[in-house]
Structure 1
């Protein structure tokens, strides 16, 4: 099975998880290429300066300092570099211009003859033409129990809202937002985890869930779980007021 990964150059969590994912891939699955998007933590493309300014304004000075130092450390540690992890395994990069759905970008991806697209924090909206490039379409990891908590930063919202459990969902991507039918879902007790620990744990569990999804697609033996739109909730990026409520509820970022 020929896989193309769609991911982003996240400096905090993704590199080690992608390395874990690649090590655990079954022998019949091969990553033939990858697209690495620019990082967009706020759900849209912004300059590095704008990202820094927003992080400070929304999350406050202690958070800004902590993650500023984590960012600098990540630049010095190749284990946190998504491109380095992929390059070390000889996986080709598909360099795209602008939106991934442009015809010229689709042709580049199509040239690798993918059986399946695997989105791991892919941060662009995928249109039907892209989804049809691969024989089996595209699967995506979302670190929440869909149909609840569609959208951005579910780890923040489940803590703020006092949930006792969260989880991961791997689903077939359609043209909606986190709305496609679910292949694998795993429930996780939140306990006293901070947001940082919750992100680390659910992303790692998510890698195993993606591998399980690939195994199911390869065998052709699976039953889809409905991603019921009537039960959905959707959350965008938090505001400064949301962060104050998060902290007032005794929740921790780290």
Structure 2
């Protein structure tokens, strides 16, 4: 097929690689503009742009799409069979939806209609799901509401973070996109409308999503920490300062201490959570200080059982 590919982050890279390796003609790549990163504000190209340049595929990086007549004329001149959308990060305008005969095919990082929105992978982990997956769908004017084409389930391991899951779903998604293109080409795919009554939302992450609510169980807090990697992570306050928890794990311990109470066991730092459950904190960071393992932190700050966090 002749295709236009729209994508930006690392998650989209395996799909672009796969469609090119399968012999499809990617006539153009759309990706977001280069962005200034870090303290030096050095400009960085998106991962999809870097791959497209390696593959000698023309790249455009429009700031706006809806009223971009130059881009519209360019895509109409290409006349693609389909437009592929993988984590592009832009709303697709109606003129673009109407252009290719096979539609705008999106690879979404969940089993729709669950977890529609900007952060489906993170929220699936944060909500403690044991299974998620990827779905190919035809984009319509709504938010991830279009007809589904194919889906593949993927298990979530108990210790798996959203960073781990991004990598595995990206690879599974690339294969699913190839399967989808084959099915569209031979007419074997029957698009299925979503059951909108089963939809859940996965909104864009905010800094406050990382704030630890100690009334939740250890399992819930641990799931949210795994889901919100690398950002916004998990944090609370200790002695009036922000306190980051970089690594945590579940324990079998139970306590009668109030939620948010620190528990010191030798070189181990633990905290009481909802229903008497207990989390171990293996790597922490007090505001203005460097990251430390629990033993080093306990030696440096003389923390004792009974001290409270989150006040």
Q: What's the TM-score, normalizing by structure 2?
A: 0.63
Q: 1:144–1:166: 8 Å Cα contact kept in structure 2?
A: yes
1:167 and 2:139 matched: no
Q: Does residue 133 of structure 2 align to residue 133 of structure 1?
A: no
Measure how far apart 1:95 and its partner are. Answer: 4.9
Given that 2:4 and 2:27 are in contact with CA atoms closer than 8 Å, whether structure 1 keeps it comes out as yes
Are 1:250 and 2:222 counterparts? yes
Residue matched to 1:202: 169
What are the superposed Cα offsets for residues 82-132 of structure 1, whole Å, 9 maximum, x if unpaired? 223212222122453522553332111111111100011121111221111
More RCO (CA 8 Å, sep 6+) = 1
* Aligned equivalent of 1:216: 183
TM-score with structure 1 setting the length: 0.76
Aligned to 1:33: 28
Q: Is the 8 A contact 1:101 1:129 kept in 2?
A: no
Native 8 Å contact 2:111 2:153 kept in 1: yes
Number of matched residues? 219
Counterparts of 2:222 and 2:7 in 1: how far apart (Å)? 33
Q: Distance in 2 between matches of 1:146 and 1:95?
A: 29
Give the distance between the partners of 2:180 and 2:209, measured in 1 at CA: 34
By percentage of residues, which structure has more strand?
Answer: 2
Matching residue within 76, 85, 100 for 1:110: 76
* Greater Cα shift, 237-246 or 118-127: 237-246
CA distance in structure 1 between the aligned counterparts of 2:18 and 2:211, rounded to whole angstroms: 35
Question: Which ranges of structure 1 fall in alignment gaps of 5 or more residues?
Answer: 40-46, 53-67
Counterparts of 1:117 and 1:134, CA distance in 2? 7
CA distance in 2 between partners of 1:194 and 1:36 (Å): 26
Shift of 1:18: 2.9
Going from structure 1 to structure 2, the CA distance change for 1:242 and 1:151 (only over 3 Å counts) comes to same
> 1:115-160: CA deviations, max 9, x gaps?
1000111211112211111121110011001111000111211111
More helix by share: 1
Counterpart for residue 19 of structure 1: 17
Tell me by how many angstroms 1:48 deviates.
4.4
Q: Please state if 1:181 is matched with 2:147.
A: yes
